[in-house]
Amino acid sequence: MRLFGGYTESLPNVASSRPRIPELASFNFPPIHKITILLPTILDGRAAFIRHSLFMVSLLFNSLRLATRSQTKLPRCHSLSSSGHHISRADSMILSRSPTGRSVALHTALFFPGHGVQRVGMTIPWLEAFPSIVKPFLEELDSSLNFRLSTIISHGPNSNLNMTENSQPAIMAMSILILRVLHEHFGFNTKARVDVTLGHSLGEYAALVAGGYLKFGPALKMVRRRAEIMAQCTADARKLTGETYGMVALVCEPDRLTDLIATIQEFLDHNTQGSNDDLSYELAPIQEVSIANINSKNQIALSGSIEQIKHLLIQLRQFSGHDPRAVRLKSESPFHSPVMKPAADYMRQALEHVDIQFSTSIPCISNVSGIPFQSKEDLKDLLSRQCVETVRWWDSIRYLDQERAVKRWIGIGPGKVGRNLVGKEVGKVSTRGGGVWAVCDPREIEQILSDLNKSEENNAFN
């Protein structure tokens, strides 16, 4: 039986259902209040009386809701709404609607790619096109890490660049390099034009730098050390078990994904708990396999022992009726699995000694929760857990698309894998004033910015 369909270009990571914040709890004023804000101004005493009454009812409703909310309230990055209620910047990204219900305020996201998109020579076109920006940036890169990573990126060899401890800081640096070119050469103002940032797996660090939470140098050092620890985790696991580790993407029909995830989780939980029901006697034990990523409506990625992943696929086909297409990914490490616990422990300690800016930062989506980070402590916790937990990429995209009216998606970094994945979920141009772009080639950047400007103008006059 052929279990793997061969290697493919790096695909992003993701996982199962994310904790959902109740809809009312995600806003600091109720829907009826929004309706009163959008009521047309009518110079009539009765209309004014009705408007005032609705406003007072909304405030009463809001007070009752806050008093009875059972869910723990996380600290937030606060700002003041026009009504006087304190709201987080993340929660202020509320879709504005006209009285007819038509969307009138679309939002823009910057997103960044994860592991596997590196290639030798990826800095060279940018150095040739923008030498005054790129040359000092590469010097800063090498100085921060105390070795010439820029030479490995430019000239290889592939075997060196593909080492986890080199590829991960290289990808992050390349993403920030492109963003710096946008800022310094084209005058792109991230804080003025971007409403939210997010990154796939490793890309979460670039998203935090772009959002203003972390400085580039300290973040780069953390990524490098984290990658070194991950490489050592993989080596230790191989030595301990004698097995090969990596990641495998599973592709199925969209209407089968939810059940596929539930079935896989049932198999994994079943073997972990050592159940004694009838089925347990028919199943071989599955060890060190995790759902690493839920990438899209029809794709997930498994992480762990390749041999155990093969056993899991056999069981899926024999006992569940699922027959997903399996594709071995370009990763020899089991990212987002318990094997990476030492990396999570390192991140938890490292983040205590890094300056994190929160109050003035652009909202950034957590891979683990699928919603914006809510506080510094929330960021430290979730960013550490990301090493061993599922990346909920599909949840993140759906949340922004459906609940936060994000319709302009700008991919920043090497390759177009991220753009293709996002585009498949939201449509390349899903609505007037929207679009999905990948800024990865200096020859295309002017056209992309022109298209983005037109998109923003279309939205303004929509």
The pLDDT assigned to 279 comes to 40
**Distance (Å, rounded) from C-alpha 371 to C-alpha 396?**
6
Extract the runs of DSSP E, i.e. beta strands, from 56-113: 78-80, 86-88, 107-112
Residue 414 phi, psi (nearest 5): -65, 140
- Here the CATH number for the domain that contains residue 437 is 3.40.366.10
Q: Does residue 385 sit within a domain?
A: yes
CB hemisphere CA count around 339 (13 angstroms): 32
Q: Does residue 129 sit within a domain?
A: yes
Cβ atoms of residues 427 and 409 within 8 Å: no
Q: Does residue 312 sit within a domain?
A: yes
Q: Clarify whether residues 139 and 150 are in a common domain.
A: yes
Q: Does residue 99 sit within a domain?
A: no
Q: Clarify whether residues 226 and 347 are in a common domain.
A: yes
Q: Clarify whether residues 452 and 373 are in a common domain.
A: yes
The pTM of the full predicted model, rounded to 2 decimals, is 0.77
Residue showing tokens 């209040």: 33
DSSP H or E stretch at residue 436 = strand 435-439
Q: Clarify whether residues 303 and 368 are in a common domain.
A: no
- How many structural domains is the chain composed of? 3
Mean pLDDT across the chain, nearest whole number?
80
Confidence tier at 398 by pLDDT (50, 70, 90): very high
- DSSP readout, 282-351? TS----SEEEEEEEETTEEEEEEEHHHHHHHHHHIIIII----EEEEES-SS-TTSGGGHHHHHHHHHHG
> Where in the sequence is the domain holding 174, given as residue range(s)?
110-233+339-460
**Distance (Å, rounded) from C-alpha 386 to C-alpha 347?**
10
Confidence tier at 460 by pLDDT (50, 70, 90): low
Q: Clarify whether residues 324 and 348 are in a common domain.
A: no
**Distance (Å, rounded) from C-alpha 311 to C-alpha 336?**
20
What are residue 110's DSSP bridge partners?
197, 410
- pLDDT tops 70 at residue 8: no
The total number of residues shown for the chain amounts to 462
Cβ atoms of residues 3 and 326 within 8 Å: yes
DSSP state of 271: H
Q: Does residue 380 sit within a domain?
A: yes
**Domain ends where: 288, 305, 329?**
329
Q: Does residue 79 sit within a domain?
A: no
- Count of CB atoms situated within 10 Å of the CB of 447: 10
The pLDDT assigned to 286 comes to 55
Q: Clarify whether residues 138 and 229 are in a common domain.
A: yes
Q: What is the pLDDT of residues 322-338, one digit of tens each?
A: 999 999 998 999 999 99
Q: Clarify whether residues 261 and 375 are in a common domain.
A: no
Q: Clarify whether residues 423 and 375 are in a common domain.
A: yes
Q: Clarify whether residues 349 and 417 are in a common domain.
A: yes
Q: Does residue 172 sit within a domain?
A: yes
Cβ atoms of residues 334 and 241 within 8 Å: no
Confidence tier at 74 by pLDDT (50, 70, 90): very low
**Distance (Å, rounded) from C-alpha 242 to C-alpha 244?**
7
Q: Clarify whether residues 289 and 307 are in a common domain.
A: yes
Q: What is the pLDDT of residues 263-307, one digit of tens each?
A: 999 988 865 554 444 443 344 445 679 999 999 999 999 999 999
**Distance (Å, rounded) from C-alpha 259 to C-alpha 360?**
41
Q: How far are the Cα atoms of 137, 372, 416, 428, 453 from residue 363, in angstroms, in the given order?
A: 26, 6, 24, 23, 22
**Domain ends where: 301, 329, 357?**
329
Q: What is the pLDDT of residues 21-45, one digit of tens each?
A: 333 233 333 333 333 333 333 334 4
Q: Clarify whether residues 150 and 212 are in a common domain.
A: yes
Q: Clarify whether residues 450 and 397 are in a common domain.
A: yes
**Distance (Å, rounded) from C-alpha 196 to C-alpha 104?**
18
**Domain ends where: 329, 360, 377?**
329
Q: Does residue 43 sit within a domain?
A: yes
